[in-house]
Structure 1
């Protein structure tokens, strides 16, 4: 009976998953188990004695056994009485550290798996309290939060993990209810949010907690909810569609979640569809269906559900056609997902921002849109108000663009200064436009368009995009009174536009003919009285502007770069409202003898000009005299805020900076090239994720000219190429290089060192150098022996992030005495083809090196270093941030500076297999640990 009572209690506890047996009852059960074993032993003893027979057993033995039985019976009886518990046998379970959520597997989805790994790394950093995860709706943020909740490493890191879905209709009460339930706090009868917040805070103040907040649509005051900032390394991770929420909630780090790759999306789609993927010939269609989902897990899931029901090839083909025809027809899965995504669009706080988003759908799917061009179109369309100055309008445009990016409606491209629109969001924008009365958009992709739209389509559209097609003909005179934007760029076969084509487009504001085959503009161009932006760049057959183009009195942007125009058209001087001009002198004077006179008194008439870009042909020096005349006029432009130009000589630069005041304006931007060179491209800019406002490229120069030093004092990026007459960069005056953030030195045969520390004294005080420098790239400098000579003063190189040394055959020392201590932010080090280097960190220059040097170094690349013998003499450095190493053609390097405990975040070692097998190891365990992350080339 006692055992049956115990079994009943255990069965009841197992049935109720939210409760467990009380401590008192657990103790009673343990005693029952113990006495059950004692009774079995006693019973076994009795049976054994009984088999011997009573004669052998004897009275004394029987009496002893009987007494034991009597005692055991009393004990059992007492336990039975104790088992009639007056209080509850079952009580609420203790607070479990993790309440699992059965997260979906994401190991095969590299983007999501990467995001989790990044978050885990940040959670291990004691200096980081709050982490923001953001990205467009449906991209997989919720799956990541569930995976974090269930992660085994996180269960070891925290006393408790609290996962709360905030949702759009959140309130303090809803969030507090969710948290108190998770903490099993009894707040029954308490109505004051402050009192509940106090109780939550008290419960968490001694715990190391992780709070996961999913679907955050608005700013939350965590203190108001009751979440304390304790000193126990507690953390908060929030997931949102809005980047601004990450900033407003003071996250220390933000992680942008990208869409799945095409391969990952297809794999997920196959898993969701299931057995129908085995249908004959279905794979090619399935890949196209998955591609239509644009890497959005939410949409992949919804569309896969629909295709699970399609059990033959014909149904799959029809389903693909429907997806491609959306939004003209309803498609199961797509409509549901779009409604979900529209939240971000509807949350935009004004119509102009909505118009800017819809305008971006004029460009083909996955098209990289140049930001400056997009902002110019927005301004020309009138979406940017209250900004008479072009610079102010561009700044306001950047704010709008950032808003669209921050709410995940646009995303930055991998190319700097470009954005793109996700395919699904573009479809959503086209769908919204189709229902609008004043934003009717007509877009034809290359797959759809061989002929221009019909008459009715021209008549009803507000904005038309026919770019990147094979149009060779346009209608004679379409009725387009409502048309404000016409995009025809890169229709290479379009060689002729009918003279009357623009006659009924009097409201047109943006006209883009870039890259078309036209040789002239039609006479009806003069009808475009409202035109604000005209793009003719890369029209290589266009050799002149028509006289009647002077009628474009409101034109603000004109781009005639890389056309066949080989002179400065005098007609440009008539555009008195022009704010932005881009032109080329690449063909100047070719095929004619008119020469310089066309440059006189044209630009000087553009009194409102704010932005000017003049490209030159590196192999055509005929432009020199013309450019000198142009520079004289440009120097007198008083509203100029952005200038990109090439100066033939330093003297020409000196003349300009002595006569022009606009370039010194703190708000101005410029890109100056000095000297003859092969390319106008700035290589150093490829290293930055943001745009540099002020750049100087000095090519084939000699000595140290005051004009160069003066400009250097104002620049962010500097390229010194093929220079003579300077043995070190600090010859240009150290004060003048302390603002620069990027520096490239290439082909300078006389440079021996970059900075001489002994010369850095002003007013008897030592001066730091390169205070702001983030990237230094040194290539093909044959006499370079060191980067720094002499003392390194505090603050020097404090921001250096990337250091690349290539083809420096005399270089023996990278880090001179005291230099390495300043490099707390160095993340990337690459050394290539430096034939004399024997040690990456020289022992003689870095004695007594602290273990925590180079705390931010993430990547180390060593290529073709035939004499290098060591990275560092031993394994004393922590290498706390190191993630990747690449080593190739370093045959004398026999040891790596690692042990079991350091370089704990190392993820990848890319080496040659034969070199790896020749390495020497202090312990085999180190080699085993590192071999697992090797990639053999």
Structure 2
């Protein structure tokens, strides 16, 4: 592919001269003494100017202008690839594309370990132990290399078993080569600019290794601990927290989880964080998570710890009165058998700031709770046996976060209204009696910024109770986020009329209107949004002005089991100007999603994701003309169970979908062609330039994906086809779909395909992952 490949390890102690010297040696150029950097750069440029080169720059720590070294621009499709721990550096060096290097899979990690260890791995009794050894390396090549160097010296199973036990105890004991890895990783920690980032990173070690940590929760803990100083409002604290989180991810100390809005800390970095904390007197951690422990740690361990995490265990009891004067965080969540907290348990925890008891079996809180005068965050959610909050709660004068969702608490003590520092309240309305003065308590919390009131779908409330609660919530003047279920549109109308906040740019909401089987916003799972404006509208009919008005601010819209509308445009296309995600489910009367005859220019211009489920009357996605700029940002289109739908891309629609990455069509029994030639004459070969994944399931009449193998499919990576028996030809040639790497299909279907030549079939066959299901 290239005339020459040049590899340069830039490293921390880099200079232009050192990079130039490495390039010169690879080019075998002779440079006379006394030549300066500018002259050397010209020599390199002259040599590479006529070549197609690949320059690999490894371990880049600081941004620099590669042209200063003499690397020229040329028209021969040369490439420069650089590797760095710092994402921001990639932007500073004007990278065209960022590739996130994930940790090795278990298969690749074991393969690397096997190669490094060598002949010892021929012993079959060693292999099961080796797999456990590799698992301890968390997919990090650097660590796999070091561990393999140690284990290649072990020539019998006894040494291997002992080595595994030692590895499982690291870093509490010294192991050859391992401390070197820790010191290397610790350098990234030491290089963080600011103590706030360091303590925020260390805090992640309180959670189980490789577990998903909810970002909002993590930031609440950071704020409660005082890691985000000089910010009082929750919105500002979250902004500061996201800035720190970005920096920690940027230097690879934390990583984004596969679950949206979650992060993870891998095993090795967690070990490093625990070791660092053990060396600091006032930051020692006692973190024993997911170990199945039934007995609490020794009291001296409690006394020396500043933060304790015993989450996800089998604790049944707690010590009567542990000496914990330095304790600031106590995490006991998901100890499902923990039924009681001793009366005097909190006596010496005056400095406690974060207390998480969620998903335990406690039935009450002890009197000593009143000692927690510095407590900032209290999590009791999913304590399904907890029946009341004690009146002593009023002693928690600094409490900012209280979560009592999914408990059996049937009344909100009037004392909650005296918690003047409360900024975030989360509760479930379902268990509260109709005569409980809940709304008067809420309206008295004057600094409240974030309010979540869950209402179970089957909860029946009188119109007057819901009207009263709605009116009281509308009086809160500091709210920046509200999650609330309105059983009827009329209640929403009261809020829209009474509240002055909901149109504010900084105000976010998740409103559910009508009776729905679930309060979850499923479409949100696909977005990185930490906060957004969502509307779920279910089991109603026709158009209501309050809904149309809320839609003007809505970013995520879910329409469920709605009747007597023919398209979303009936709500007023102009009201969808901020929409980024849309789901239509079970709407029997809808015949099209968008009516282009009433659509203004650039309609739905910010829509990224559209999901259509169970639409029995749907005939098309877009009816009529398609103005330029419409759907220009859409990345995902999913169609499921639309039994009369015949065409997906009506005239001109497909040409707008520059950003479409994922197209899924399932159980649409009348679809014969995905891209219909008569609907899309003179189709440009570069159509759908961003499409990466195409899913086609249960389409019995499908005979064609695209006409005449016209499209280039430049980005297509994955094709997933099942139960499409009439599809006998794929739209690929020897030169298109160059990035296709995976074809999921039924093994019995593959031999039925017709090929232009055998070379095409041979090219695609290695990418197939066959299932044995019959079409």
TM-score, normalisation: structure 1: 0.80
> What corresponds to 1:610 in structure 2?
449
The question of 1:174 aligning with 2:45 is answered: no
Moved more, 877-886 or 924-933: 924-933
Alpha-carbon shift at residue 729 of structure 1 (Å): 0.6
Match of 1:367 among 183, 196, 211: 211
CA-to-partner distance for each residue in 1:48-94, whole Å, 9 max, x for gaps?
A: xxxxxxxxxxxxxxxxxxxxxxxxxxxxxxxxxxxxxxxxxxxxxxx
The question of 1:817 aligning with 2:651 is answered: yes
Moved more, 730-739 or 376-385: 730-739
> What corresponds to 1:88 in structure 2?
none
Which secondary structure does the structure 2 equivalent of 1:521 belong to? Answer: coil
Distance 1:314 1:867 in 2: 62
Match of 1:396 among 233, 240, 256: 240
The question of 1:628 aligning with 2:440 is answered: no
> What corresponds to 2:112 in structure 1?
268
The correspondence of residues 94-493 of structure 1 with structure 2, limited to 5 A, is 156=1, 158-190=2-34, 192-279=36-123, 281-447=125-291, 449-493=293-337
User: Quick one: structure 1 residues 880 and 278, their matched pair in 2 at CA, closer, same or farther if it must change by over 3 Å?
Assistant: closer
Distance 1:274 1:922 in 2: 46
Match of 1:874 among 688, 708, 727: 708
CA-to-partner distance for each residue in 1:472-507, whole Å, 9 max, x for gaps?
A: 121111111111111111112211111111111111
Which secondary structure does the structure 2 equivalent of 1:174 belong to? Answer: helix
Distance 2:224 2:339 in 1: 26
Which secondary structure does the structure 2 equivalent of 1:744 belong to? Answer: strand
User: Quick one: structure 1 residues 159 and 268, their matched pair in 2 at CA, closer, same or farther if it must change by over 3 Å?
Assistant: closer
> What corresponds to 2:568 in structure 1?
729
CA-to-partner distance for each residue in 1:335-386, whole Å, 9 max, x for gaps?
A: 1111111111011011111111111101111221111111111111111111
Alpha-carbon shift at residue 471 of structure 1 (Å): 1.4
> What corresponds to 2:506 in structure 1?
667
CA-to-partner distance for each residue in 1:247-271, whole Å, 9 max, x for gaps?
A: 2212121111111222332333233
Alpha-carbon shift at residue 318 of structure 1 (Å): 2.2
Distance 1:622 1:287 in 2: 57
Distance 2:16 2:752 in 1: 63
> What corresponds to 2:410 in structure 1?
566
Larger Rg: 1
> What corresponds to 1:916 in structure 2?
750
Distance 1:481 1:355 in 2: 20
The question of 1:861 aligning with 2:700 is answered: no
The question of 1:804 aligning with 2:638 is answered: yes
Is the Cα contact below 8 Å between 2:467 and 2:494 reproduced in 1?
no
Report how many residues are paired. 771
Alpha-carbon shift at residue 559 of structure 1 (Å): 0.7
Is the Cα contact below 8 Å between 1:587 and 1:617 reproduced in 2?
no
Is the Cα contact below 8 Å between 2:633 and 2:659 reproduced in 1?
yes
Alpha-carbon shift at residue 690 of structure 1 (Å): 4.4
User: Quick one: structure 1 residues 611 and 895, their matched pair in 2 at CA, closer, same or farther if it must change by over 3 Å?
Assistant: same
Is the Cα contact below 8 Å between 1:588 and 1:622 reproduced in 2?
no
Alpha-carbon shift at residue 674 of structure 1 (Å): 0.7
Which secondary structure does the structure 2 equivalent of 1:808 belong to? Answer: coil
Alpha-carbon shift at residue 740 of structure 1 (Å): 1.0
Alpha-carbon shift at residue 280 of structure 1 (Å): 7.1
Distance 2:467 2:64 in 1: 59
Match of 1:649 among 484, 488, 496: 488
User: What residue ranges of structure 1 are gaps of 5+ in the alignment?
Assistant: 1-155, 590-594, 761-765
Distance 1:294 1:671 in 2: 38
> What corresponds to 1:535 in structure 2?
379
Which secondary structure does the structure 2 equivalent of 1:470 belong to? Answer: coil
> What corresponds to 1:40 in structure 2?
none
- Structure with the higher helix share, 1 or 2: 1
The correspondence of residues 821-840 of structure 1 with structure 2, limited to 5 A, is 821-840=655-674
The question of 1:906 aligning with 2:737 is answered: no
Is the Cα contact below 8 Å between 2:609 and 2:637 reproduced in 1?
yes
Is the Cα contact below 8 Å between 1:768 and 1:792 reproduced in 2?
no
Is the Cα contact below 8 Å between 2:292 and 2:314 reproduced in 1?
no
TM-score, normalisation: structure 2: 0.96
Distance 1:607 1:356 in 2: 30
Distance 2:753 2:345 in 1: 74
Distance 2:122 2:71 in 1: 51
> What corresponds to 2:580 in structure 1?
741
Which secondary structure does the structure 2 equivalent of 1:634 belong to? Answer: helix
Alpha-carbon shift at residue 718 of structure 1 (Å): 0.8
> What corresponds to 1:715 in structure 2?
554
Which secondary structure does the structure 2 equivalent of 1:810 belong to? Answer: coil
> What corresponds to 1:85 in structure 2?
none
